[in-house]
């Protein structure tokens, strides 16, 4: 039985997957960067900076793996 007073626009507010990975992004790492870079990120200069970092790391890993396979 549905909960009375539920959200009728659930499709409008549902969670959307932001990434194209085959596995969940459940692990954490830390990086060190200059204070000016951190401030720019906090100001919103890069939208969705976490995904930008994941994609950059994935590209470097792909390049490194292809070079080691050669």
Helix (H) or strand (E) holding 57: helix 49-69
Tell me: the pLDDT tens digits for 8-60?
A: 676 777 667 777 788 888 899 999 999 999 999 999 999 999 999 999 999 99
Whether 53 maps to a domain, the answer reads yes
Q: Is 24 part of any domain? A: no
Residue 54: inside a domain: yes
10 is a domain residue: no
d(CA 63, CA 48): 23
Half-sphere exposure of 8 (CA within 13 A, CB side): 2
For the chain, the C-alpha Rg in angstroms (whole number) is: 19
Say how far apart CA 63 and CA 16 lie, in whole Å: 29
State the total domains in the chain.
1
Range of the domain at 59: 34-70
Is pTM beyond 0.75? Reply is no
User: Is 39 part of a structural domain of the chain?
Assistant: yes
């Amino acid at each position: 039985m549905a909960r009375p007073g539920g959200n009728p626009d659930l499709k409008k507010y549902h969670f959307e997957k932001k990434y194209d990975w085959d596995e969940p992004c459940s692990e954490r790492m830390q990086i060190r960067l200059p204070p000016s870079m951190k401030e720019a990120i906090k100001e919103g200069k890069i939208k969705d900076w976490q995904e930008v970092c994941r994609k950059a790391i994935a590209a470097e890993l792909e390049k490194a793996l292809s070079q080691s396979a050669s």
